[in-house]
């Protein structure tokens, strides 16, 4: 018999701290407290050259309901479409024009944070509207 296990979602990226902070804003997640002796992560980062900064950075759902997100530095950049992506459930329970307006408002909020809108997929009678986006490092995700 299988049991449900906790999991985290790991992103390969160039700038772990920056990408983690972006996703905190998207999802309402929080970053861990800075290392002992530092008031903020910025204070900690100021003591390190960019290439010497942490190789990973995590954030988590303050309610404990969602998975932990881990961002790990890798040397190579993103070159192809994601095989796995996050769907940000911004329009749950909404349909038609109300859903599309809600998704577009969230798209605009995230664009102000540096996300890019790839395409708006309007309802077609079979599927409801969703919006395909890219985060600040080009990782695809959906607003649905």
Express each pLDDT in 47-56 by its tens digit: 777 666 668 8
Residues 6 or more apart whose Cβ sits within 8 Å of residue 36: none
In a domain, 1, yes or no: no
Decide: 128 and 121 in contact? Cβ < 8 Å: no
Structure confidence at residue 30 (pLDDT): 96
HSE (side-chain half, CA atoms, 13 Å) at 109: 14
Kindly state whether residues 25 and 57 are assigned to the same domain: yes
Structure confidence at residue 51 (pLDDT): 67
In a domain, 78, yes or no: no
Structure confidence at residue 47 (pLDDT): 79
What does the pLDDT look like over 75-118, one tens digit per residue?
888 888 888 899 999 999 999 999 999 999 999 999 999 999 99
Last residue of a domain, one of 73, 106, 129: 73
Of the ranges 28-32, 40-44, 75-79, 134-138, which one carries the lowest mean pLDDT score?
A: 40-44
Domains of the chain: total: 2
Residue 67 domain boundaries = 8-73
């Amino acid at each position: 018999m299988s049991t449900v296990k906790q999991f985290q979602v790991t992103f390969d990226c160039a700038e772990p701290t920056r990408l983690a902070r972006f996703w905190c804003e998207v999802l309402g997640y929080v970053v861990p407290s800075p290392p002992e002796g530092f008031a903020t992560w910025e204070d900690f980062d100021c003591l390190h050259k960019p290439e010497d900064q942490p190789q990973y950075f995590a954030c988590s759902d303050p309610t404990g309901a969602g998975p932990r997100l881990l961002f790990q530095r890798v040397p190579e950049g993103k070159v192809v479409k994601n095989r796995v992506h996050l769907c940000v459930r911004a329009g749950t329970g909404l349909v038609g024009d109300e859903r599309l307006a809600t998704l577009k408002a969230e798209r605009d909020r995230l664009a102000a944070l540096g996300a890019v809108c790839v395409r708006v997929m309007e309802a077609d009678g079979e599927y409801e509207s969703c919006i395909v986006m890219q985060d600040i490092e080009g990782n695809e995700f959906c607003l649905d």
